[in-house]
Chain A
Amino acid sequence: MNAVFAVARLLVLEIFRKKDAYVAFLLMAVILVYAAGMDFYDERNVVRYLLELGLSLVFFFSVILTAALGARQVPAEREARTLPVLLAKPIRRSEFVAGKFLGTFLAGAAAFTLFYGFFLGVASFKGGVFSAATAGETYLAFLLNLWVLAAVASGLSYFLTSSAGLTLTVLVYFLMNTYGPALKAKAGPFLYFTLPHFEFFDLRQRLVHGWGGLPGDVWAALAAYAFLYALVPLSLGAWRFARENA
């Protein structure tokens, strides 16, 4: 496990050292503050709409950052030729795969925590009223979302270039968020059961419209789905990587 945490830690260090997260944060902050500065004469529905838009922005930047980070990991190691020295140490290839995934998730989660905290601060300032419990649930559900997303992006990075991996991950993410529930009827059961259902973890509307949290059994199902689904791309990535010459 030492090796898994070492690889994950390196990746988290990388995201903050290379300043990707700061750029995304600054961009998001500028848009959020600009939107918060608009005056809609306290029209409650417009404020809600703006809050949902702001939350979408937080999700969007977190998704892009996590997907980009996960998708570039293995191609970047290959390109920089840093793999042979690392794999010549007592590390299993499966540990490398687990470390890359864990690091991607932790870095994405850290960035999301920063973004989400900023959003809640701005939203409170703007007069948004949230249930603390629902805000917490929205946060946890999105962490599960990032768990699956990190697994997909990280798993694809063993097969694809970083740009192809990023494009495919983001495409699947937005496809499922938009058409996920209707996919069975429109595209058949194969795609419906194969593609990751990111929309399961989206509690934005519950938070903004005050619909309340999820029951315990739904949480258990969500967590089980996230943990089991993540194993699929990671196992495929590990299988591919075990056969690769460094």
Chain B
Amino acid sequence: MDLAIELKDVTVDYARGKRALDGLSLSVKKGTIFGFLGPNGAGKSTTVKAILGLLRPSSGSVRLNGLPADDPRSRRDVGYLPEEAHYYRFLTPLELLDFYGRVFGLSRVERRRRSEAVLDLVGLAAVAKRPIRTFSKGMAQKIGLAQALLNEPRTLVLDEPTSGLDPLARLELRALLLKLRSEGRTVFFSSHELSEVELLCDTAAILKDGKLLQQGTVAELEGGRGEESLERHFVRLVGGRPS
């Protein structure tokens, strides 16, 4: 099986004995959209960080695009959008993208071409030369999306990508993700938004207290125990009370 992301028995212990992930195993097939669900504090962001090599698991292994996650080459074909947008505020979007383009080793011409293309794609071309410190939260989130797409990645890792976006921007993002899948790219995104997962994802997983509760196609998750919606199934699985 051709996997973009693979976690095997990953455990992450933080200081003071807090266990963030507990023997988590996941696999994401190439060319699919994978939804990663869980309540607050379930360990979704920790999983994303482990996938990107931003933290070292206490045990287990993580592979990204066939390489160990701590190997920088595994991130050459990856785009990452964090939950909260934090970028160098003294730069303009064009300068920021130029900086990241340099880190990717792109030529000057290629950096310019791709920066303009992604800024146009996310609707920030008109403010490309304005300092980021003057941007609203939604605009900063769009810069995040632009930098995640800069290297034309085969795999996108998105942490709560719709947070901070208005309804129109959400629709645009949804269309973009479907377009990326049609181009054969892989999208892994963590979310609270069950409707997004239902609409977009081929497969999904539900996490609680650092443990995987269930993984399968969205249809399997919805129909696994009778004909209930993903929302009801999720609420029942993580121990909440359905409305």
Contact = CB atoms under 8 A, between A and B. Distances in A.
Interface stretch (A5-13, A34-42, A136-144): A5-13
Interface in A4-50: 5-7, 9-10, 13-14, 17-18
Contact of A18 (B55, B86, B90, B105): B90
A161 B49 CA distance: 24
A153 B78 CA distance: 33
Given A84-B54, A84-B82, A89 B87 contact: no
Given A82-B88, A246-B49, A89 B54 contact: no
Contacts of A3: 102-103, 105
A90 interface: yes
A88 interface: yes
A85 B78 contact: no
A2 interface: yes
B75 A89 contact: yes
A87 interface: yes
Nearest to B157: A88
A195 B88 CA distance: 34
Interface string B92-104: 0001000110111
Tier of interface size on chain B: 20 to 34
A38 to B, nearest CB: 39
Interface in A78-95: 80-82, 84-92
Contact of A85 (B73, B82, B89): B82
Interface string B155-170: 0010000000000000
B84 A89 contact: no
Contacts of B91: 13, 17
Interface in B38-66: 49, 52-56
Nearest to A7: B103
A220 B164 CA distance: 57
A2 B105 contact: yes
Contacts of A5: 102
A246 B50 CA distance: 10
Nearest to A83: B54
A245 interface: yes
Interface string A65-84: 00000000000000011101
B174 interface: no
A70 to B, nearest CB: 17
Given A89-B103, A90-B73, A90-B103, A17 B90 contact: yes
B99 to A, nearest CB: 6
A81 B144 CA distance: 13
Contacts of A245: 49, 54-56
A75 B235 CA distance: 40
A86 B55 contact: no
Interface in A102-141: none
B147 interface: yes
Nearest to A92: B72
A14 B76 CA distance: 26
Contacts of A89: 75, 100, 103-104
A196 B73 CA distance: 36
A90 B104 contact: yes
A5 B82 CA distance: 25
28 contacts: A2-B102, A2-B104, A3-B102, A5-B102, A6-B99, A6-B103, A9-B99, A10-B88, A13-B90, A13-B91, A14-B88, A80-B88, A82-B86, A84-B49, A85-B82, A85-B86, A85-B147, A86-B103, A88-B53, A88-B54, A88-B75, A88-B78, A88-B157, A90-B75, A90-B76, A243-B56, A245-B55, A246-B49
Interface of A: 2-3, 5-7, 9-10, 13-14, 17-18, 80-82, 84-92, 243, 245-246
Given A10-B88, A85-B86, A246-B54, 20 more contacts: A2-B103, A3-B102, A6-B102, A9-B102, A14-B90, A80-B88, A84-B49, A84-B52, A84-B54, A85-B87, A87-B52, A88-B52, A88-B53, A89-B103, A89-B104, A90-B76, A90-B103, A243-B56, A245-B49, A245-B54
